[in-house]
């Protein structure tokens, strides 16, 4: 593009210079010729007063001597014979007398080395004198060569200047394009941080904006894919927990030992997949208008599943608040995955026989889901909420609580971790029903937080484990 712009500018400027310089050079040449013959005409006209007064040879000789200009004799006078008087010829003869006789108007004749200007002057009614002024060739072209050289220099300077300007403009256009090409190569090689400065001409600036937007979308899509892989892998931990618990009850024997070893190996592989994919930036898409599920139904279904395992381990289980439908703007699969993550943590990180409970409370604009246990609790709740943080818990990938948090925040709610009335951990999930954004939800969190805290505590204390 750069050299193409230079070539175009070179061709256009050259044509413009040629179109103006050639006619101007011809005009200068013609002006020099007109100047030379205008001087010759003035010199010849200067003899009109003298010839109108006298045709005496001596007086004409003195006038001719004073009129001579330049080197040599340039002016000559011819007075034809008449009335018996002889013809008068003063000065150097350059034309024959037959060419001087009968001249009626000013004319120019070419002679060796230049031209002569013939000026007829009437000296009587029957005689016409002719003044002959010699104009050398170098006087006709005086200054023409210099003017042509100046014109050529100006034309060349214009061409060079236009090429330089075109080159700078080409660089200004090419550099953003080169940066765009380089960033595209970097992005293709996996350098996801490659971006293009949004400068240069308008078209290239818009291309840079589009490229950066595309790169952001690619990064987001890759992050979402990795996050989905991590979340799906985390969901495998629920059936793995069941397998591990069932394998622990198989007793002794080679088959039982092999089963337990296989389950442990499978758990390690799933943990490896989760740790590999969990660095992606989390993002959970909220359910669209009209979407959602019956939280009470989902909780009953999942508690039926986990109650069988709890019975095998001697755990007391309580479920409350699921007697009537509770609609929330969350996809059924997302809510089931969040519950499995929390209940799986109870089985994984608390001793056998530890009781747990799931309570649901439905308000006008929000639904609260509480998952409580009587285990040892969480040492650092803030660290436990961070994605990918295991908080020192053996066998934890740090994704379970993050899945729950993103589910709540997708509705404008949030998740908090505290101490339960059972003596262990209480995970409180606040699901917003009016679908306010997270920022708006946070603005009203001060007042609602105080109302929520009192409501939940009363709700927990009003029920006890059987």
The answer, yes or no, to whether residue 443 has pLDDT greater than 50, is no
What does the pLDDT average to over 398-416? 83
**Predicted pLDDT at 230:** 64
> CB within 8 A of 229, min separation 6: which ones?
273, 277
Q: How confident is the model at residue 442 (pLDDT cuts 50, 70, 90)?
A: very low
pLDDT tens readout for residues 204-251: 888 888 988 888 888 888 777 777 666 666 667 667 777 777 777 777
* Average pLDDT taken over every residue of the chain: 78
| pLDDT tens for each residue of 451-461 | 444 343 333 43
Q: Give the per-residue pLDDT at 207.
A: 87
Considering only residues 146 and 403, tell me which one the structure prediction assigns the higher pLDDT: 146
Residue 393 pLDDT exceeds 80? no
Is residue 262 predicted with pLDDT exceeding 50?
Answer: yes
pLDDT above 70 covers what percent of the chain? 78
In this predicted structure, what is the pLDDT of residue 367?
Answer: 94
Model pLDDT for residues 365-375, shown as the tens digit of each residue: 899 999 999 98
**Is residue 278 predicted with pLDDT exceeding 60?**
no
What does the pLDDT read at residue 368?
94
Mean pLDDT, rounded, for 353-360: 93
């Amino acid at each position: 593009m750069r050299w193409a712009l230079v070539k175009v500018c070179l061709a256009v400027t050259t044509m413009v210079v040629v179109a103006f310089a050639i006619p101007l050079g011809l005009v200068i040449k013609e002006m020099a010729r007109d100047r030379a013959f205008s001087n010759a005409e003035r010199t010849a006209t200067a003899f009109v007063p003298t010839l109108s007064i006298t045709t005496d040879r001596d007086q004409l000789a003195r006038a001719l001597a004073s009129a001579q200009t330049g080197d040599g004799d340039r002016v000559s006078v011819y007075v034809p014979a008449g009335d018996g008087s002889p013809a008068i010829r003063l000065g150097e003869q350059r034309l024959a007398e037959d060419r001087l006789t009968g001249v009626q108007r000013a004319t120019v004749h070419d002679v060796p080395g230049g031209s002569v200007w013939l000026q007829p002057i009437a000296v009587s009614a029957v005689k016409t004198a002719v003044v002959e002024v010699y104009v050398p060739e170098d006087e006709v072209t005086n200054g023409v060569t210099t003017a042509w050289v100046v014109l050529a220099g100006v034309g060349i300077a214009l061409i060079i200047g236009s090429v330089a300007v075109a080159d700078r403009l080409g660089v200004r256009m090419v550099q953003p394009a080169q940066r765009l090409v380089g960033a595209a190569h970097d992005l293709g090689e996996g350098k996801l941080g490659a971006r293009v400065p949004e400068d240069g001409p308008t078209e290239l600036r818009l291309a840079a904006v589009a490229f950066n937007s595309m790169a952001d979308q690619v990064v987001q899509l890759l992050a979402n894919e990795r996050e989905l892989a991590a979340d799906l892998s985390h969901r495998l931990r629920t059936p793995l927990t069941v397998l591990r618990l069932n394998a622990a009850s198989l007793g002794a024997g080679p088959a039982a030992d092999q089963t337990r070893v296989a389950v442990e190996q499978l758990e390690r592989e799933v943990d490896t997949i989760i740790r590999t994919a969990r660095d992606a930036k989390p993002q959970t898409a909220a359910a669209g208008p009209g979407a959602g599920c019956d939280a009470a139904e989902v909780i009953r279904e999942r508690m039926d599943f986990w109650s069988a395992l709890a019975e095998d381990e001697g755990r007391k289980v309580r479920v409350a608040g699921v007697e009537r439908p509770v609609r929330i703007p969350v996809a059924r699969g997302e809510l089931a995955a969040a519950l499995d993550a929390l209940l799986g943590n109870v089985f994984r990180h608390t001793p056998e026989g530890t009781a747990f409970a799931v309570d649901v409370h439905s308000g006008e604009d929000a639904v609260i889901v509480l998952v409580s246990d009587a285990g040892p609790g969480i040492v650092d709740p803030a660290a436990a909420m961070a994605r990918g943080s295991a908080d020192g818990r053996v066998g934890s990938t740090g994704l379970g609580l993050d899945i729950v948090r993103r589910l709540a925040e997708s509705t404008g709610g949030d998740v908090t971790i505290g101490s339960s009335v059972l003596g262990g951990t209480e995970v409180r999930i606040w699901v917003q029903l009016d679908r306010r954004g997270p920022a708006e939800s946070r603005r009203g969190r001060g007042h609602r937080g105080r109302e929520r805290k009192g409501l939940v505590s009363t709700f927990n204390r009003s029920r006890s484990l059987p």
